[in-house]
Amino acid sequence: MGLLDGKKTLIIGVANDHSIAWAIAQAFVREGAALALTYVNEAIEKRVRPLAASLGVDTVLPCDVTRDDDVAALFDNLRAQWGALDVVVHAVAFAQREDLKGRFVDTSREGFRLALDVSAYSLVAVARAAEPLLAPQHGSILTLSYFGAEKVVPGYNVMGVAKAALEASVRYLAWDLGSQGVRVNAISAGPIRTLSSAGITGFKTMLHHYEERAPLRRNVTADEVARAALFLSSDLGDGITAEILHVDAGYNVVGM
């Protein structure tokens, strides 16, 4: 028996076969989840559909999380197909490349707005649209964060501010939805080579730094993050909400 047997699960943010969201999708299907995936545009659709097919997943739907109509249409489709929903995984973040270089103080107004909209407000929009579908007393919403939300990580810049807003949103959403038994959590993952991490200046140096200084003396893998997501999204995590779970080989406890 799988940990997610019979659970209807939506994952927003699979970009390619190197993304953390893809590792989560694989883990969820292995544990018996019925899965739906999204894509933001035609280029991503061409990557996501073959990945979905490899898992036997037929439900692949469009959604640009910056468009309320897209978010509403996504959940309308899921309501028509499934009637209800057990788990939502939000794995979406974006900042303009020029805002991940140089100094944070030079972030443009539009760059700041875009990063906060895609990376933080989208969780609020998704939670609001998902709320009527989520199973009472057992619903789960999970998002992905990073240590740059808590401490300055040179080069992470506006994305660190966006992730800080995301983590605060997790706590407020957990309060709002908790009376219905819906849990809202985040995983703060260590640095992992993905399409999005390629835009961070000095990312290779960051990987080496973690490997040298984290208590486990290594970096984490996408599969390890996926197993943590599985735990938080399954009945094993029923008593956990408003939590930011660090999956970073212990790096977050190191002061010097």
Say if residues 145 and 160 touch (Cβ distance below 8 Å).
no
List the catalytic residues. Answer: 146, 156
Specify whether the CB–CB gap between 155 and 218 falls below 8 A. no
Give the global pTM: 0.95
Q: Where are the domains of the chain?
A: 8-250
Nearest to 57 by CA among 21, 85, 77, 28: 28
With a pLDDT cut of 90, the percent of the chain lying above it is 89
Tokens (6 digits) for 222: 């996408």
Q: What is the mean pLDDT of the chain?
A: 95
pLDDT at 195: 60
Residues 6+ apart with CB under 8 A from 124: 169, 173
Q: What is the largest CA-CA distance in the chain?
A: 53
Q: Check the CA dihedral 196-245-72-128 and report its sign.
A: negative
Listing from the earlier edge strand, what are the strands of the sheet with 140-145? 59-62, 34-39, 8-12, 87-90, 140-145, 183-189, 244-247
Q: Reduce the DSSP state of residue 61 to 3 states and report it.
A: strand
How does residue 196 score in pLDDT terms, banded at 50, 70 and 90? low
The pLDDT assigned to 204 comes to 83
Q: What is the pLDDT of residue 118?
A: 98
User: What does the pLDDT look like over 11-61, one tens digit per residue?
Assistant: 999 999 999 999 999 999 999 999 999 999 999 999 999 999 999 999 999
CATH architecture group of domain 8-250: 3-Layer(aba) Sandwich (3.40)
Res 193: pLDDT: 78
* Amino acid letter for position 144: L
Which single residue is written with the structure tokens 């969820």? 28
How buried is residue 135: exposed, middle or buried, by Cβ count under 10 Å (0-12/13-18/19+)?
middle
Segment (H or E) for 3: none
pLDDT tens figures, 105-144 = 999 999 999 999 999 999 999 999 999 999 787 899 999 9
Q: Among candidates 66, 14, 64, which has minimal Cα distance to 41?
A: 64
Residue 1 confidence (pLDDT): 84
Number of other CB atoms surrounding residue 247 within 10 Å: 21
pLDDT at 144: 98
Q: In angstroms, rounded to a whole number, what is the distance separating the alpha carbons of residues 21 and 194? A: 10
Within 8 A by CB and 6+ apart from 176, the residues are none
Measured at the CA of 76, the angle between CA 162 and CA 143, to 5 degrees, comes to 25
pLDDT of 136 reads 82
**pLDDT of 70 higher than 90:** yes
